[in-house]
Chain A
Amino acid sequence: MTHLDSELDQIKQQVIEMMSLVKSQLAKGKEAVLTFDKDLVHEINANENRVNAMELNIDRDVENVLALYSPVAVDLRFVMASFKISSDLERIGDNAVGIAKYINNVDVQLAQKNLDKIRFTEMYENALAMLDDVFEAFEKEDTKLARKVFIKDKVLNEINSNAANIAIELIKEKPEKIHNYLYLLSIIRKLERVGDLTKNIAEELIFYIEAKVLKHRKKK
């Protein structure tokens, strides 16, 4: 292993560690919404600092590798991809914190039937599965796996586009709960954003491994 290889491997391990923490943050967000557990919210908030610190560490290591090793070809693409992936992960982490924040703001637990109506669990599980796909794809350098997220993201988009009408129906039924339903809609919007960020990660992976730029294009 060359000196550069060990530096790149260190960045890879850091990205994997950050992926695992961000996934756990998002999964805890789901749990918190379903169980109304305020301790979990506290835990998510505490871990947010770790996510931010990891992003800064990766930024610093990427800067060092660029300055000291002038990587080219696949190495350069890896460094560029890692830099962008860590930024996407940090924003996914922010969304997990944002979702958890609502537990402190809503007065009573959201009813399961309403969560089902808006397809909360289905959307959340899809978002988590997308994260699993890109994480495994990053570890195994497998672009087939990365491409799976493009299809899963369509489900998220579909749920998101129907969510506003469902929220309106719920508000009409119980106008006094308008705050709760607006928060619920906001969670759906955040999950849609998580889907987009995960898709960005998949695009970065494909750029790194296959040298193909998929951004702003129809996915194949």
Chain B
Amino acid sequence: MTVKEPMSALVKNPQGAPRKNTIIEARNVDVFYGKFQALKDINITMEENSVTAFIGPSGCGKSTFLRCFNRMNDYIDEFSIKGEVLIDNKKVYWKNVAVEELRKEVGMVFQKPNPFPKSIFDNVAYGLKIQGINDKTFVEERVVKSLKDVALWDEVKDEMKKSALALSGGQQQRLCIARTLAVKPKIILMDEPTSALDPISTAKIEELMFELKKEYTIVIVTHNMQQAGRISDKTAFFYMGDLVEYGDTKQIFTNPKKERTQNYITGRFG
């Protein structure tokens, strides 16, 4: 028998839609800060070109888990991890992993926009330059494409040399996303990316996520239930280090299976 296409492209689920590939997987993940266990036996898989939202009260472990995907927790004293985190089937915590290479594949956007005190152009080109890419045309093309992808190009095209710090908060956050896109990651992690933004800027970032998931896989931590409902395909609810429930966002927000999830999303947590 001749297989003309990779099997992954041919496998279909019972409804007939093509099944997406798993890009992020966690197997029996425990995370400790010293003696404190922040995550308990987490098992989850996430599909490529999807948006997954992590929700839960403060201190539930959702940001800790997000930071496991690009090893941002490595900088925290007494951090230790058991189990396996896999990106594209490769072990993230394997001893020979080059963390810089990992972070090229797994970009991150933070709660507060954090542009460098440089020009708009230099901010977006920064990742390419530290990779040693000096081809001016290539860098320019990539910068323009990234700014267009985040719908910022029309607003800044005539002032690329202006300091990024002169932009508004919403523009700065889109610039930071453009900076992440410029190095062509596979995955974008977002840790409460709109919590410091006004509703218009928030709506722009949410629209952006909808567009970006065509090319990237997005994982977002948010405290805004409506935002999780609006933008994500799947939602994971964490509580005190446990992954309580994980499923299609529509199901989680209309008919959650666990009482604790229902109590949290309806605001009756206690």
Seen from chain A, the residues whose Cβ lies within 8 Å of a Cβ on chain B are 2, 4-5, 70-77, 211
| Distance to closest chain A CB from B206 (angstroms) | 15
Q: Is B253 touching A72 in the complex (CB atoms < 8 A)?
A: yes
Whole-angstrom CA separation of A52 from B232 in the bound complex: 40
9 inter-chain pairs at a CB distance below 8 angstroms, sorted by A residue, are A2-B267, A5-B268, A72-B229, A72-B253, A73-B255, A73-B262, A74-B266, A75-B266, A77-B255
A73-B256, A211-B255 known, 16 other contacts, Cβ within 8 Å: A2-B268, A70-B225, A70-B226, A72-B225, A72-B229, A72-B253, A72-B265, A72-B266, A73-B254, A73-B255, A74-B262, A76-B253, A76-B254, A77-B254, A77-B255, A211-B254
B267's contact among A4, A76, A77, by CB below 8 Å, is which? A4
Nearest A residue to B225 via CB reads A72
Main secondary structure of the interface of B (DSSP, over half): helix
Residues of A within 8 A of B266 (CB): 4, 71-75
Q: Give the most central of B229, B254, B262: most A CB within 10 Å.
A: B254
Residues of A within 8 A of B265 (CB): 72-73
| Distance to closest chain B CB from A83 (angstroms) | 15
Residues of A within 8 A of B256 (CB): 73
| Distance to closest chain A CB from B249 (angstroms) | 11
Whole-angstrom CA separation of A75 from B256 in the bound complex: 12
| Distance to closest chain A CB from B237 (angstroms) | 12
Nearest A residue to B268 via CB reads A2
Whole-angstrom CA separation of A75 from B264 in the bound complex: 12
Whole-angstrom CA separation of A71 from B268 in the bound complex: 12
Residues of B within 8 A of A2 (CB): 267-268
Residues of A within 8 A of B255 (CB): 73, 77, 211
| Interfacial residues of chain B within 239-270, with CB under 8 A of chain A in the complex | 253-256, 262, 265-268
Q: What 5 pairs across the A-B complex have the smallest Cβ distances?
A: A211-B255, A72-B253, A73-B262, A72-B265, A75-B266
Whole-angstrom CA separation of A71 from B267 in the bound complex: 9
Whole-angstrom CA separation of A70 from B253 in the bound complex: 11
Nearest B residue to A5 via CB reads B268
| Distance to closest chain A CB from B221 (angstroms) | 19
Q: Give the most central of B225, B255, B265: most A CB within 10 Å.
A: B255
Nearest B residue to A210 via CB reads B255
Q: Is B254 touching A72 in the complex (CB atoms < 8 A)?
A: yes
A-contact 0/1 string along B124-135, CB 8 Å cutoff: 000000000000
Whole-angstrom CA separation of A107 from B71 in the bound complex: 88
Residues of A within 8 A of B262 (CB): 73-74
| Distance to closest chain B CB from A79 (angstroms) | 12
Residues of A within 8 A of B229 (CB): 72
Q: Is B253 touching A73 in the complex (CB atoms < 8 A)?
A: yes
Whole-angstrom CA separation of A76 from B229 in the bound complex: 13
Residues of A within 8 A of B225 (CB): 70, 72
Q: Give the most central of A2, A5, A70, A72: most B CB within 10 Å.
A: A72
Whole-angstrom CA separation of A101 from B248 in the bound complex: 52
Whole-angstrom CA separation of A72 from B262 in the bound complex: 9
Whole-angstrom CA separation of A76 from B226 in the bound complex: 13
Residues of B within 8 A of A4 (CB): 266-267
Whole-angstrom CA separation of A72 from B263 in the bound complex: 10
Whole-angstrom CA separation of A179 from B200 in the bound complex: 65
Residues of B within 8 A of A73 (CB): 253-256, 262, 265-266
Nearest A residue to B267 via CB reads A2
Nearest A residue to B265 via CB reads A72
A-contact 0/1 string along B209-232, CB 8 Å cutoff: 000000000000000011001000
| Distance to closest chain B CB from A81 (angstroms) | 13
Residues of B within 8 A of A76 (CB): 253-254
Whole-angstrom CA separation of A2 from B266 in the bound complex: 10
| Interfacial residues of chain B within 78-99, with CB under 8 A of chain A in the complex | none
Residues of A within 8 A of B254 (CB): 72-73, 76-77, 211
Residues of A within 8 A of B253 (CB): 72-73, 76
